[in-house]
């Protein structure tokens, strides 16, 4: 397998730097919370759709 090590290391360092920045500024928590809200809303929509099917 031919791995381009320089590109792999650059991508990993970019990802790590971004994660550290988001955690340091608190923006990562906002992103996690928004994903949680979207998940909860999706569950409510599914419950409403299922209740209308069985009525």
pLDDT digits over 13-52, tens only?
Answer: 998 998 898 888 887 777 777 777 777 777 777 767 667 7
Give the Cα separation of 10 and 21 in Å (integer).
16
Q: What pLDDT is recorded for position 9?
A: 93
User: Mind spelling out the 3-state secondary structure of the chain?
Assistant: CCCCHHHHHHHHHHHHHHHHHHHHHCHHHHHHHHHHHHHHHHHHHHHHHHHHHCC
- Tokens 């998940």 correspond to 39
Which band of pLDDT confidence, cut at 50, 70 and 90, is reported for residue 1? Answer: low
Q: What pLDDT is recorded for position 30?
A: 77
Give the Cα separation of 34 and 15 in Å (integer).
20
Q: What pLDDT is recorded for position 13?
A: 96
13, HSE (Cβ side, Cα atoms, 13 Å): 6
């Amino acid at each position: 397998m031919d791995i381009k090590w320089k590109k792999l290391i650059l991508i990993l360092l970019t990802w790590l730097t971004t994660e550290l920045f988001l955690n340091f500024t608190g923006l990562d928590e906002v992103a996690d919370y928004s994903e949680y809200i979207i998940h909860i809303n999706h569950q409510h929509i599914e419950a409403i759709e299922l209740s209308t099917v069985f009525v």
